């Protein structure tokens, strides 16, 4: 089954481009470290998922590119074509001239309805190219105007037009100290709207990725391209083919469906965080070896202690010992900053994955009480190494990972809203104070739900 | 997207002339193949003039003949005629000019009420023609001075007109404010009358003061002539220089100062024209820097002022560039943003600067700046890959900051000095449409604006109590 990617706004298009780059480079790499047959299965599964068969020398990405100004799409299309490895369908894009001015209301209430038909036609065309559609993967930032506002509108349209398909929104959280002054308003409006139409929100925070670039990747002058490449690697580690526990002989046909089934048992809880280890500069890879027990232990502690990356993990924080699996309010036993999970998904790629013991992730103390721990944890694996990493482990977690960042964004937005600053810029395009209040209410509800896990 | 400059009055047209010249220089430096591209189309049409005269527009392919998208308006012919006889003559055609002979006599009422009324239809028609050639008109730039009659009066009339006829197009105004020692006696009247229009009809105003431009020119002069730099400075990198542009005639006294403003406009629109990793368009500037409709006055600074020919130590230089952007002697008005209150701040970086440089410098400088309580992290940033001519990188800072207040208070004081004695009022009141109430309303508008800044200043350094959050049922 195939995934259609929607790249929305400057951020969405820049990241999407790096994602397809990462996927292609992974598939064509000679570091699969597995049998030829395995490699071929992987290649075929990946191709079906992300690329369409067309009479062209290079695979064509299953993607729709949307932006309200032309420069980024123009660059993205030409850079991809120049790679010689893959390209976009030359007709599968839509742009305008003016941009959205970082104004969510402009993206949502003006550009959205105005261009709905054209955009949905492009989506329909891409969907029709798929033998079977698994769902949609939308990439957007929530700080600006197009990705955020138009993105929220398009997600709603996707839900209406494809009621049975899965929608995974990849949302970029901006740097805490401003990229955009009204970023918190745009974020609150985006998140509250996405929550209604999306199946899950997979989040990347710029601050976190920036730290990874600085401390793990040793990059001195970090560019957005560097940041986007790390994000693309992490996304690739989730979206590339794997075997699920149920079927060890064929690569999973329905990655998005599997993801949702595992991680989103309840519609009130849709915020997914992503961790991937190890991460290091490419030239270090040859000199590094890792053991699976070591990686698993580290990943688990990152989950418990809500560590954003594999350095600086708080190892002191421990799960309390539970005598028996009493499904009552054990929240009183837990230290305050222990990260409670609803569900977790671990993805392992590379050598010797069969020997890995993931029992520690099934510990009931990790999870909230209303799910059976057996259902709360899943593992996907493949012996096929990913992107030159001999061993790579990813964790996609529906937990309190994003509680604090969400609370921060809502708090800052509320603080600004109290002064009514910038509100006239939104009412100009039809988003009223009431709409803001609705969004605040919705998100306070989400915060409350995650807090009382 | 197209930005359409409208130069009004003598000052406006002198500034405009420098702007077109440097714009051509910038695009020539970037556009090696001579292909008419999206970036060029922001400011220029590509016209087929082979069959003589004004042929059809060519939207793609090789550059044939570039024509500026502009209107040049003056009620005297001197400056415009000079432009049409100079090296830029082929860049404009007669359909873009609106001139008269007698001038406005440094009288806002003559410019606004008399000529405004007289030329309205003509202006609207020419605007429509010019707008028709643009497939996406995003913004008008009015370039004028506040102290005279045409730029001030007719300029603000045009501002009103733009709002009526093209309500969806942004209106940015670059206004040169008169100094205290201005030799035009009535400049306070003209400026305050114009301020009311700017308050009510402009989306963003970039105030400029000649003293600041003059100080910058002197500063550069000193650096070059005191022997420390000498021939190691790249001539075309000077923010004051016309080197490499079409202007072959020796520079006139105001050229250096005007070049600074021309560079301001080029930098302001750079991210809309050229690609980068974090684009910043004009509508984003308006969105992020204007928290309340009337508080739309932005103090600007450009760094660096010049580049040394022997380029090295990029990181230290980029830190210096950020520091300078906040120093009082780099601002284009007499103001000190560091000691006043920020409502919002935008940083548009060009060239070889990455997001980590931006972040590092914001972290470094933040503690020494005062931001209003509801916008503690009020930074808007943009990264454009293409540097200005002669530089490897540059920075434009735009501050919505209460440091504009002294400029406005100064205007008010000088206005009141004249108004109390009713000096020269009769020159204004005998123009049809002018009444005493025009004056009282104008000074009232300015006073209200000053009061808004006072209220904000009063919050500076005060205790911060965050409003309590919404409570939801669990």
CATH number, domain containing residue B202: 3.40.50.1440
H helices of A130-280, where? 151-161, 183-197, 206-211, 224-239, 255-263
Residue A422 CB coordination number (10 Å): 22
In whole numbers, what is the pLDDT of chain B averaged over residues? 90
The burial class, CB within 10 Å (0-12 / 13-18 / 19+), for B219 is: middle
In this structure, what CATH number is given to the domain that contains residue A293?
3.30.1330.20
Distances (CA, A) of A85 to A28, A130, A386, A389, B240: 9, 21, 18, 21, 47
Q: Is B248 part of any domain?
A: no
Per-residue confidence (pLDDT) for residue A325, from 0 to 100: 43
Q: Is A214 part of any domain?
A: yes
A189 and A307 inside one domain: no
In whole numbers, what is the pLDDT of chain A averaged over residues? 92
Percent composition of chain B: helix, strand, coil (DSSP 3-state, to 5)? 50, 20, 35
The yes-or-no verdict on residue A30 having pLDDT over 50 is: yes
Residue at which a domain ends, from A358, A374, A401: A401
Q: Using a CB-CB distance cutoff of 8 angstroms, which residues of chain A are in contact with residue B363?
A: 177
Query: In this complex, which of A219, A416, A448 lies closest to B375 when CB atoms are compared?
Result: A416
For chain B, what's the residue count?
474
Q: Is A359 part of any domain?
A: yes
Pairing of strands A341-350, A391-399: antiparallel
A158 and A252 inside one domain: yes
Q: Is B332 part of any domain?
A: no
A316 and A194 inside one domain: no
A86 and A154 inside one domain: yes
Q: Which helix (H) or strand (E) holds A73?
A: helix A70-83
pLDDT band, very low/low/confident/very high, at B50 (cuts 50, 70, 90): confident
What angle (nearest 5°) sits at the alpha carbon of residue B329, between those of residues B386 and B338?
90
Residues A155-196: tens digit of each pLDDT: 999 999 999 999 999 999 999 987 999 999 999 999 999 999
A249 and A313 inside one domain: no
Are residues B298 and B67 in contact, defined by beta-carbon separation less than 8 angstroms?
no
* Closest-CA distance of chain B to residue A360, Å: 32
Q: Which of A331, A315, A328 is nearest to A400 (CA)?
A: A331
Q: How far apart are CA A394 and CA A285, in angstroms?
A: 17
Q: How far apart are CA B91 and CA A249, in angstroms?
A: 70
Q: Which domain, by its residues, includes A242? A: 2-272
Number of structural domains, chain B?
A: 1
Residues A85-96: tens digit of each pLDDT: 999 999 999 999
Q: Residue A44 has which token pair?
A: 């075929």
Higher pLDDT: B30 or A238? It is A238
Per-residue confidence (pLDDT) for residue A328, from 0 to 100: 40
Q: Is B263 part of any domain?
A: yes
Cross-chain Cβ contact B356/A222 below 8 Å? yes
In this structure, what CATH number is given to the domain that contains residue A121?
3.40.50.1440
Alpha carbon A355 to chain centroid, angstroms: 28
Complex ipTM more than 0.90, yes or no:
yes
Distances (CA, A) of A83 to A26, A65, A80, A420, B55: 14, 18, 5, 48, 40
Residues B167-210: tens digit of each pLDDT: 999 999 999 999 888 889 999 999 999 999 999 999 999 999 99
Per-residue confidence (pLDDT) for residue A44, from 0 to 100: 92
Mutate: best of A178, A183, A423, partner B, most B CBs <10 A? A178
Q: Is B392 part of any domain?
A: no
Radius of gyration from C-alpha coordinates of chain B: 22
Q: Residue B183 has which token pair?
A: 């030799």
Per-residue confidence (pLDDT) for residue B317, from 0 to 100: 67
Q: How far apart are CA B77 and CA B103, in angstroms?
A: 8
Are residues B75 and B104 in contact, defined by beta-carbon separation less than 8 angstroms?
yes
Higher pLDDT: A321 or A155? It is A155
SS3 (DSSP) at A161: helix
pLDDT band, very low/low/confident/very high, at A446 (cuts 50, 70, 90): very high
Q: Residue A265 has which token pair?
A: 């048992």
A206 and A227 inside one domain: yes
Q: Is B121 part of any domain?
A: yes
The yes-or-no verdict on residue A327 having pLDDT over 60 is: no
Q: Which domain, by its residues, includes B182? A: 2-224+255-282
Distant-in-sequence, close-in-space partners of A248: CB < 8 Å, separation ≥ 6: none
Distant-in-sequence, close-in-space partners of A405: CB < 8 Å, separation ≥ 6: A173, A203, A205
Number of structural domains, chain A?
A: 3
Q: Is A7 part of any domain?
A: yes
A386 and A427 inside one domain: no
Per-residue confidence (pLDDT) for residue B248, from 0 to 100: 54
Q: How far apart are CA A425 and CA A438, in angstroms?
A: 18
Per-residue confidence (pLDDT) for residue A211, from 0 to 100: 96
Mutate: best of B281, B357, B393, partner A, most A CBs <10 A? B281
Query: In this complex, which of B292, B383, B470 lies closest to A421 when CB atoms are compared?
Result: B292
Mutate: best of B286, B374, B471, partner A, most A CBs <10 A? B374
Q: Which of B218, B229, B175, B228 is nearest to B198 (CA)?
A: B175
Cross-chain Cβ contact B277/A223 below 8 Å? yes
A342 and A255 inside one domain: no
Q: How far apart are CA A328 and CA A81, in angstroms?
A: 57
What angle (nearest 5°) sits at the alpha carbon of residue A428, between those of residues A425 and A429?
105
Q: How far apart are CA A172 and CA A161, in angstroms?
A: 25
Question: The dihedral of CA B224, B228, B234, B237: what is its sign?
Answer: negative
The yes-or-no verdict on residue B252 having pLDDT over 80 is: no
Query: In this complex, which of B291, B355, B362 lies closest to A422 when CB atoms are compared?
Result: B291
Q: Is A330 part of any domain?
A: no
- Could you report how far apart the first and last alpha carbons of chain A are, in Å? 34
* Averaged pLDDT, A71-79: 95
A425 and A384 inside one domain: no
Q: Specify the range with the lowest mean pLDDT, choosing from A225-239, B50-64, B87-101.
A: B50-64
Predicted TM-score (pTM) of the model is: 0.94
The yes-or-no verdict on residue B451 having pLDDT over 70 is: yes
Per-residue confidence (pLDDT) for residue B222, from 0 to 100: 82
Residues B85-100: tens digit of each pLDDT: 888 888 998 889 999 9
pLDDT band, very low/low/confident/very high, at B249 (cuts 50, 70, 90): low
Per-residue confidence (pLDDT) for residue A321, from 0 to 100: 66
The yes-or-no verdict on residue A284 having pLDDT over 90 is: no
Q: How far apart are CA A367 and CA A421, in angstroms?
A: 41
User: Cα torsion at B100, B102, B105, B107 (round to 10°)?
Assistant: -40
* Closest-CA distance of chain A to residue B460, Å: 15
pLDDT band, very low/low/confident/very high, at B463 (cuts 50, 70, 90): confident
Q: Residue B325 has which token pair?
A: 């952007």
Give the percent of chain B with pLDDT over 90. 66
């Amino acid at each position: 089954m195939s995934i259609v990617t929607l790249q929305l706004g400057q951020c969405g298009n820049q990241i999407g481009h790096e994602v397809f780059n990462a996927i292609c480079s992974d598939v064509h790499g000679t570091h699969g470290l597995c049998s030829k047959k395995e490699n071929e299965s992987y290649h075929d599964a990946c191709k079906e998922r992300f690329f369409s068969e067309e009479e062209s020398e290079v695979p064509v990405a299953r993607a729709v590119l949307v932006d309200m100004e032309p420069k980024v799409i123009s660059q993205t299309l030409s850079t991809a074509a120049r790679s010689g490895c893959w390209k976009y369908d030359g007709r599968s894009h839509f742009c305008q001239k003016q941009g959205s001015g970082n104004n969510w209301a402009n993206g949502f209430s003006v550009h959205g309805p105005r261009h709905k038909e054209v955009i949905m036609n492009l989506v329909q065309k891409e969907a029709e190219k798929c033998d079977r559609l698994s769902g949609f993967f939308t990439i957007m930032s929530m700080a600006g105007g197009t990705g955020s506002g138009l993105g929220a509108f398009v997600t709603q349209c996707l839900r209406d037009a494809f009621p049975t398909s899965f929608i995974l929104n990849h949302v970029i959280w901006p740097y805490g100290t401003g990229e955009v002054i009204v970023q918190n308003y745009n974020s609150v409006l985006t998140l509250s709207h996405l929550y209604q139409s999306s199946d899950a929100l997979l989040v990347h925070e710029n601050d976190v990725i920036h730290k990874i670039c600085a401390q793990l990747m040793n990059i001195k002058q970090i560019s957005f391209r560097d940041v986007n490449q790390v994000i693309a690697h992490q996304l690739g580690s989730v979206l590339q083919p794997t075997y699920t526990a149920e079927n060890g002989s064929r690569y999973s046909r329905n990655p998005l469906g599997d993801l949702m089934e595992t991680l989103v048992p309840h519609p009130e809880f849709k915020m997914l965080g992503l961790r991937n280890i190890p991460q290091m500069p490419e030239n270090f890879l040859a000199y590094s070896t890792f053991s699976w027990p070591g990686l698993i232990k580290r990943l688990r502690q990152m989950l418990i202690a809500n560590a954003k990356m594999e350095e600086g993990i708080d190892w002191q924080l421990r799960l309390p010992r539970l005598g028996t699996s009493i499904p009552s309010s054990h929240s009183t036993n837990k230290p305050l900053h222990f990260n409670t999970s609803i569900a977790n998904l671990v993805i392992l790629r590379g050598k010797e994955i069969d020997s890995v013991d993931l029992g520690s992730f099934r510990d009931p103390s990790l999870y909230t009480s209303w799910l059976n721990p057996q259902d709360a944890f899943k593992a996907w694996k493949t012996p096929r190494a990913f992107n030159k990493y001999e061993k790579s482990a990813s964790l996609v977690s529906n937990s309190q990972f994003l509680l604090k960042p969400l609370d921060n964004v809502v708090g800052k937005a509320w603080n600004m809203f109290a002064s009514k600053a910038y509100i006239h810029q939104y009412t100009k395009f039809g988003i009223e104070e009431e709409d803001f209040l609705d969004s605040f209410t919705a998100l306070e509800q989400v915060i409350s739900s995650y807090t009382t896990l | 997207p197209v930005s359409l400059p409208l130069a009004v009055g003598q000052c406006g047209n002198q500034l405009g002339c420098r702007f077109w010249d440097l714009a051509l220089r910038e695009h020539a430096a970037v556009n090696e193949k001579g292909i008419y591209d999206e970036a060029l189309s922001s400011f220029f049409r590509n016209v087929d003039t082979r069959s003589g005269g004004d042929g059809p527009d060519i939207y793609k392919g090789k550059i044939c003949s570039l024509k500026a998208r502009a209107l040049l308006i003056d009620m005297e012919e001197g400056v415009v005629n000079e432009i049409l006889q100079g090296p830029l003559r082929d860049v404009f055609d007669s359909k873009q000019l609106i001139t008269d002979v007698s001038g406005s006599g440094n009288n806002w009422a003559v410019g606004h009420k008399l000529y405004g009324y007289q030329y309205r239809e003509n202006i609207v028609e020419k605007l429509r023609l010019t707008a028709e050639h643009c497939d996406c008109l995003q913004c008008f730039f009015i370039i004028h001075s506040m102290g005279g009659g045409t730029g001030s009066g007719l300029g603000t009339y045009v501002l009103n007109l733009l709002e009526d006829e093209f309500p969806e197009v942004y209106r940015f105004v670059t206004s040169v404010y008169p100094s205290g020692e201005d030799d035009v006696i009535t400049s306070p009247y003209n400026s305050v009358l114009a301020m009311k229009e700017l308050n009510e009809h402009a989306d963003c105003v970039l105030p400029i003061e000649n003293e600041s431009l003059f100080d910058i020119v002197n500063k550069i002069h000193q650096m070059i002539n005191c022997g420390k730099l000498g021939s190691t400075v790249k001539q075309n990198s000077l923010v004051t220089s016309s080197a490499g542009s079409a202007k072959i005639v020796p520079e006139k006294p105001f050229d250096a100062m005007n070049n600074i403003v021309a560079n301001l406009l080029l930098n302001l629109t750079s991210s809309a024209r050229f690609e980068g990793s974090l684009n910043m368009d004009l509508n984003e500037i308006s969105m992020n820097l204007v928290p309340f409709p009337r508080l739309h006055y932005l103090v600007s600074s450009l760094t660096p002022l010049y580049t040394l020919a022997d380029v090295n130590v990029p990181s230290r230089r980029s830190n210096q560039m950020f520091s300078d952007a906040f120093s009082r002697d780099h601002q284009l008005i007499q103001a000190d943003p560091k000691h006043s209150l920020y409502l919002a701040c935008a940083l548009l970086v060009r060239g070889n600067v990455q997001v980590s440089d931006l972040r590092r410098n914001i972290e470094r400088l933040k503690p020494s700046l005062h931001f209003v309580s509801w916008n503690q992290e009020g930074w808007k940033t943009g990264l454009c890959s293409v540097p200005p001519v002669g530089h490897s990188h540059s920075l434009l800072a735009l501050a919505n900051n209460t440091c504009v207040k002294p400029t406005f208070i100064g205007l008010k004081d000088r206005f009141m000095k004249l108004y109390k004695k009713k000096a020269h009022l009769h020159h204004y009141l005998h123009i049809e449409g002018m009444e005493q109430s025009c004056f009282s309303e104008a000074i009232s508008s300015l006073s209200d604006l000053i009061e808004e800044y006072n209220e904000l200043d009063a919050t500076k350094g005060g205790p911060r109590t965050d409003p309590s959050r919404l409570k939801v049922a669990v």
